[in-house]
Chains A and B, each alone.
Chain A
Amino acid sequence: MKENYTGTPANRVDGRAKVTGEAKYAAEFEVPGLLYGVVVNSAIAKGKIKHMDTSAALQLPGVHQVFTHENRPGYSWFDKHHQDEDAPPGSPFRPLGSNEIKFSMQPIALVVADTYELARYAALLVHVEYEAQPHETDLEANLPRAYKPKKYKSPPPSDPRGDAAGAFDKAEVKLEQAYAHPAHHHNPMEMHASIAIWKEGGKLTVYDKIQGVQNSQQYISNAFGIPKENVQVISPFVGGAFGSGLRPQYQLFLAVLAALELKRAVKVVLTRQQMFSFGHRPHTVQRLAIGASPDGKLQSITHNAIAETSRFEDYNEDVVIWPGVLYDCDNVEVSHQLVDLDVYTPLDMRAPGGTTGTFALECAIDEMAFQIGMDPLEFRLKNYTEKDLNEDKPHSSKELKECYRQGAEKFGWANRKMEPRSMKEGHQLIGWGVAHGAWEAQQQEASAKAVLSPNGKLTVSSATADIGTGTYTVMTQIAAEVMGLPLEDVTFELGDSTMPKSPLEGGSWTVSSVGSAVKLVCEKLQEQLLKMAQKMKNSPFSEAKLADVSFANKQMFLTHAPATSISLQAILDQNEGKPLEAEASQKPDSKQKKYSSYSHSATFVEVQVDEELGTVKVTRIVTAVAAGRIINPKTGRSQILGGSVWGIGVALEEHTVLDHNLGRFMTHDLDKYHLPVSADVHETDVIFVEEKDEIVNPLGAKGLGEIGIVSVAPAICNAVFHATGKRIRELPITLDKLL
């Protein structure tokens, strides 16, 4: 009996805690004597603070302090002391660092008071005089200033292969187009929040919304010069993050600064509006030039991206790696340039670069297929690559063709007519579109600890995070499976910086990295159990090696003779009431280096577009995913569904609008920044295609956090073209663009 083990759908182990409110998020911890901090943000995008008058705020009884650049305590000034694990190259922003304003909504003061309401009121009384300077926030107006960064955050764009320009010139069929992806903000449900608690001896306990507690711990230690062991960061639950919690945000810095100075506990929670005052998916313009033969063979791909960044850090992401990952083409040239503007540094957001780059590439491929007169799926099959051509390596596994096959069958793609505007019901034009995508399956080094208590209950821990993805559940499944224990006898703990080291929860690598460490640490416990069993009198296991035994139903038994078994409890009873403990670190195996590993998806979409009014309704989405072994098909399906919904937002709704007169994002709440609502979401199917992979990591699982989003938006764009004959190359496709 292997109930609740990997590969089987399992309910979230933390589901009850979440729906009953028992699960505590960063802002919800009750701390005696807590003070509340409210942030004041800059009204201008560039310039200097001439004068700040905090006297009216300070006069209110119950206001403890207003921290500004003038009175803030000292902290380290070295760049490296502010560079967290996810920092791009450059000089990180330091809150209250000086009187200089570098972006609109920059935090310029923290008001600390006895209550939140009082702090919020006092914040209104802080009077600021600015000396404004001309700002530049318009990417498209500043394209001539684009530069190649000295250092790239993600791997630099690949060297050219073949002669893209020459092949393009010679190609019989050519396409050259520009595509624009606007700025997006992450907008997790939970706003960023931190509670910093000062303790005697200068120790700090911090509750933080973060995708990696050890990143916050190191950052606080570096910036404020506190020994790491004196800083404990706790974050058991995260209400969504999508990358916004990869870097410690300014509310953490300000809460710690105030707590240290006031020697108190201070909580700082950002408002929804303030969630638009830091990192975002960057506005990016892309140019694609594609050459092909009349029979549909790709001959040349040039993919250039120019994206915004801040004046102080060079953020970039994997926008232009996709031609080499997805298409067989001998002549490829890509580039990624930046334009520095008076905005905050962009920040990784779900499938950073993948969402942006796949949109442009997959729309351009669709355009090319149409130009040639080929079915867009057939065109992709004709130019299918078995290898990762960026790295010239084979894939550890790649079942993308099977994604096409199963997705197309479920969708009914074979019935598609080539011509745009060929399907109609009443006023509704109907269109079908397809796109595919990939996301890297990486493994990072991670550690875990396992404790098997004298009564047979297992606790496994690692300092990772669960941002709603299901980490608690899948780690519990993995540990339960290895140890042969029922799910309810296993507890997985995370989100405490004192736990064994874990990478940030991002990049779709948590199952791969932390999961592999959990498997390994449980195998170490298995070894201990076997050794102890062997020491027992007349042990039938005395000759057995670990490879000879199995664990199931709370028993250890000889795999070839299951009747020879012993209960784990009987072994544990030999340990004089002490628990068994093990710790382990799992690194990627060196054989992985010979291969590329990506998860893949193919998305098929049906849209209805009103021929007169331009409204778009996504009536059907089928996404087929190949991502190795699916540890939990239920939480995995949720991941892909979430990606589909987000894809609707990317294609049709999301856009943080910058007013260039003010240099300020103006759609800064959930009324004005549109995310899809339930009424926008219709039939949505997820198919997991079987994919065996013995190389990617010991679990054979590739991760699902990002693959669900990348191919959805371009498939919608392509379906809109098929419905209307109009090609919209600037997201989002709002109704005005289709009138």
Chain B
Amino acid sequence: MRPFTFTQAQDVDTAVQEVSLEGAKFVAGGTNLLDLMKIDVMSPSHLVDITQIALETIEETEAGGIRLGALAKNADTAYHELVETRYPLLSHAILAGATAQLRNMATDGGNLLQRTRCYYFYDTQTPCNKREPGSGCSAIQGYNRDLAILGTSEHCIATHPSDMCVALAALEATVHVTGKNGERAIPFADFHRLPGDTPHLDSNLQPDEIITSIELPAKGFAKHYTYLKLRDRASYAFALVSVAAALELEGDTIKEARIVLGGVAHKPWRVPEAEALLQGQKATRDNFRKVAEAYLQGAQGFGHNDFKIELAKRAIVRALEQATNR
């Protein structure tokens, strides 16, 4: 680990000032950043601890939704009564990720900013465009079992590892941030990026910006939802494919469907046009399979991860079935 300076910010303004210094990064739960610093994948010269800032509240909004403070812990969020009763999809997604110990430390804002778990990103002695732009991508021709099949570029096929974000995308959350130029709100779909030719950028958060809260609209799909996570062991493994599915049903007719895939792209993968295929349709296996096919259109495997294309289709069907029957 390289030497770094450390400061604690007591409020948002100070945090923004401090993080504007060259080489500065925020640290909150530290469940990902510290690991990456120990293996020299990330080497900030200045760490700004934001855990003293009062941003951990979970509360109702005037619009009838809820606001998750950026520093609310993943565990506190998943078990919060408002989340459990009105946004159980979010609660389930959070609890499908990591371990109890990690969820106790990890914050909601930090969860959005997790780095990929690509094998090569984690090994500084291998080429990786995300870690070291221009060095090449080892994964495309190498071992890519866990990696992306959608939205990839010739520079990077990394996935976003979060489970929570898959549910937040389905629930159409808004990310509130504050920077030098003041506050702004980012729709969740626009928060994370595709790799393109800038794979080193995971999100559209600017270097001087801090996430202050994540807002959920009133509609929580608490009746018909599922978070299905497929992985190589029953716990403490990242998704090969995950699906956040939420339905609004009238009898067996679908009024609205939300489907977001995890583990398949550089960001939670949502295809509104494909979702729309279900609008006004019956909740049947055939219709679900049609949507699944539409969702995976253009998907490309890289050898070891070819199976994810069919797996994702089957997972969508199963998730929609489960959501219907819940």
A124: chain B residues within 8 A (beta carbon): 2, 40
B3 x A657 contact (CB < 8 A)? no
For chain A residues 640-670, which have a beta carbon within 8 Å of chain B? 652-653, 657, 659, 661-662, 664, 666-669
A666 x B120 contact (CB < 8 A)? yes
Smallest beta-carbon distance B122→chain A, Å: 7
B238: chain A residues within 8 A (beta carbon): 671
Of B44-52, B191-199, B229-237, B267-275, the stretch lying at the interface with chain A is B229-237
CA distance A676 to B126 in the complex (A): 28
A120: chain B residues within 8 A (beta carbon): 1, 38
A735 x B230 contact (CB < 8 A)? yes
For chain B residues 206-243, which have a beta carbon within 8 Å of chain A? 230, 232-238, 240
Q: Which of B39, B123, B238 neighbours the largest number of chain A CB atoms within 10 Å of its CB?
A: B123
B120: chain A residues within 8 A (beta carbon): 666
Q: Which of B39, B122, B141, B232 contacts A734 (CB 8 A)?
A: B232
Q: Does B178 contact A (CB under 8 A)?
A: no
Q: CB-CB contacts of A590-632 with B at 8 A, as 1s and 0s? A: 0000000000000000000000111101000000000000000
CA distance A273 to B237 in the complex (A): 18
Of A71-79, A140-148, A541-549, A677-685, the stretch lying at the interface with chain B is A677-685
B232 x A613 contact (CB < 8 A)? no
Query: A657-B143, A666-B143, A671-B117 in contact; A679/B233 too (CB < 8 A)?
Result: yes
Query: A43-B125, A120-B1 in contact; A666/B119 too (CB < 8 A)?
Result: yes
Q: Does A736 contact B (CB under 8 A)?
A: yes
The total of interchain contacts (Cβ-Cβ below 8 angstroms) comes to 86
A613 x B311 contact (CB < 8 A)? yes
Q: Does A117 contact B (CB under 8 A)?
A: yes
B235: chain A residues within 8 A (beta carbon): 677-680
Smallest beta-carbon distance B293→chain A, Å: 15
Q: Does A312 contact B (CB under 8 A)?
A: no
A127: chain B residues within 8 A (beta carbon): none
B307 x A613 contact (CB < 8 A)? no
Q: CB-CB contacts of A421-463 with B at 8 A, as 1s and 0s? A: 0000001000000000000000000000000000000000000
Q: Does B280 contact A (CB under 8 A)?
A: no
A736 x B307 contact (CB < 8 A)? yes
A43: chain B residues within 8 A (beta carbon): 125-126
B233: chain A residues within 8 A (beta carbon): 652-653, 674, 676-677, 679-680
Q: Does B142 contact A (CB under 8 A)?
A: yes
B2 x A735 contact (CB < 8 A)? no
For chain A residues 464-501, which have a beta carbon within 8 Å of chain B? none
CA distance A41 to B2 in the complex (A): 18
A117 x B1 contact (CB < 8 A)? yes
A677: chain B residues within 8 A (beta carbon): 233-236
- Chain A minimum-CB-distance residue to B39: A273
Q: Does B314 contact A (CB under 8 A)?
A: yes
Smallest beta-carbon distance B184→chain A, Å: 34
A676: chain B residues within 8 A (beta carbon): 233
B38: chain A residues within 8 A (beta carbon): 120
Q: Does A121 contact B (CB under 8 A)?
A: yes
Q: Does B138 contact A (CB under 8 A)?
A: yes
Q: Does B315 contact A (CB under 8 A)?
A: yes
Query: A613-B314, A666-B123, A739-B311 in contact; A659/B138 too (CB < 8 A)?
Result: yes
Smallest beta-carbon distance B144→chain A, Å: 10
Number of interface residues of B (CB under 8 A): 34
B2: chain A residues within 8 A (beta carbon): 121, 124
A617: chain B residues within 8 A (beta carbon): 234
Query: A124-B40, A672-B119 in contact; A612/B142 too (CB < 8 A)?
Result: no
CA distance A709 to B2 in the complex (A): 43
Q: Does B310 contact A (CB under 8 A)?
A: yes
Q: Does B86 contact A (CB under 8 A)?
A: no
Smallest beta-carbon distance A189→chain B, Å: 15
A664 x B126 contact (CB < 8 A)? yes
For chain B residues 118-161, which have a beta carbon within 8 Å of chain A? 119-120, 122-123, 125-126, 138, 141-143, 145
Smallest beta-carbon distance B221→chain A, Å: 23
Q: Which of B38, B230, B234 neighbours the largest number of chain A CB atoms within 10 Å of its CB?
A: B234
- Chain B minimum-CB-distance residue to A732: B232
Smallest beta-carbon distance B56→chain A, Å: 27
CA distance A120 to B38 in the complex (A): 9
Smallest beta-carbon distance A608→chain B, Å: 12
Q: Does B282 contact A (CB under 8 A)?
A: no
A668: chain B residues within 8 A (beta carbon): 123
B318 x A735 contact (CB < 8 A)? no
Q: CB-CB contacts of A544-586 with B at 8 A, as 1s and 0s? A: 0000000000000000000000000000000000000000000
Q: Which of B40, B138, B230 contacts A661 (CB 8 A)?
A: B138
A41: chain B residues within 8 A (beta carbon): 125
B236: chain A residues within 8 A (beta carbon): 677, 679
A674 x B232 contact (CB < 8 A)? yes
B314 x A612 contact (CB < 8 A)? yes
B145: chain A residues within 8 A (beta carbon): 657
B318 x A612 contact (CB < 8 A)? yes
A679 x B234 contact (CB < 8 A)? yes
Q: CB-CB contacts of A726-739 with B at 8 A, as 1s and 0s? A: 00000000111001
Query: A613-B314, A677-B236 in contact; A662/B138 too (CB < 8 A)?
Result: yes
B230: chain A residues within 8 A (beta carbon): 613, 615, 735
B3: chain A residues within 8 A (beta carbon): 121
Q: Which of A615, A667, A669, A672 neighbours the largest number of chain B CB atoms within 10 Å of its CB?
A: A672
Smallest beta-carbon distance B158→chain A, Å: 14
Smallest beta-carbon distance A663→chain B, Å: 11
Query: A613-B315, A666-B123, A735-B311 in contact; A674/B143 too (CB < 8 A)?
Result: no
A680 x B234 contact (CB < 8 A)? yes
CA distance A254 to B238 in the complex (A): 36
CA distance A126 to B119 in the complex (A): 23
- Chain A minimum-CB-distance residue to B240: A735
B232 x A661 contact (CB < 8 A)? no
Smallest beta-carbon distance B67→chain A, Å: 32
Q: CB-CB contacts of A31-50 with B at 8 A, as 1s and 0s? A: 00000000001010000000
Smallest beta-carbon distance A107→chain B, Å: 13
B318: chain A residues within 8 A (beta carbon): 427, 612-613
Q: CB-CB contacts of A110-132 with B at 8 A, as 1s and 0s? A: 00000001001100100000000
Q: Which of B143, B145, B235 neighbours the largest number of chain A CB atoms within 10 Å of its CB?
A: B143
CA distance A718 to B307 in the complex (A): 23
For chain A residues 1-45, which have a beta carbon within 8 Å of chain B? 41, 43
- Chain B minimum-CB-distance residue to A104: B125
B1: chain A residues within 8 A (beta carbon): 117, 120-121
B314: chain A residues within 8 A (beta carbon): 612-613, 739
Q: Which of B143, B310, B311 contacts A659 (CB 8 A)?
A: B143
CA distance A653 to B232 in the complex (A): 7
Smallest beta-carbon distance B297→chain A, Å: 19
For chain B residues 301-326, which have a beta carbon within 8 Å of chain A? 307, 310-311, 314-315, 317-318
CA distance A735 to B2 in the complex (A): 40
Q: Which of A652, A657, A662, A676 neighbours the largest number of chain B CB atoms within 10 Å of its CB?
A: A662
Query: A120-B1, A662-B142, A666-B142 in contact; A736/B126 too (CB < 8 A)?
Result: no
Smallest beta-carbon distance A437→chain B, Å: 24
B240: chain A residues within 8 A (beta carbon): 735
B123: chain A residues within 8 A (beta carbon): 273, 664, 666, 668
CA distance A613 to B311 in the complex (A): 7
CA distance A120 to B126 in the complex (A): 19
A-B CB contact pairs (8 Å), 13 listed: A273-B123, A612-B314, A666-B126, A671-B117, A672-B119, A674-B237, A677-B233, A677-B236, A680-B235, A735-B232, A735-B240, A735-B311, A739-B310
* 6 more CB-based (< 8 A) A-B contacts, given A612-B318, A613-B311: A614-B311, A615-B230, A659-B119, A666-B126, A735-B240, A739-B307
Interchain residue pairs A-B with the least CB separation, the first 3: A679-B234, A736-B307, A43-B125
Which A residues have a C-beta under 8 Å from some C-beta of B? 41, 43, 117, 120-121, 124, 273, 427, 612-615, 617, 652-653, 657, 659, 661-662, 664, 666-669, 671-672, 674, 676-680, 734-736, 739
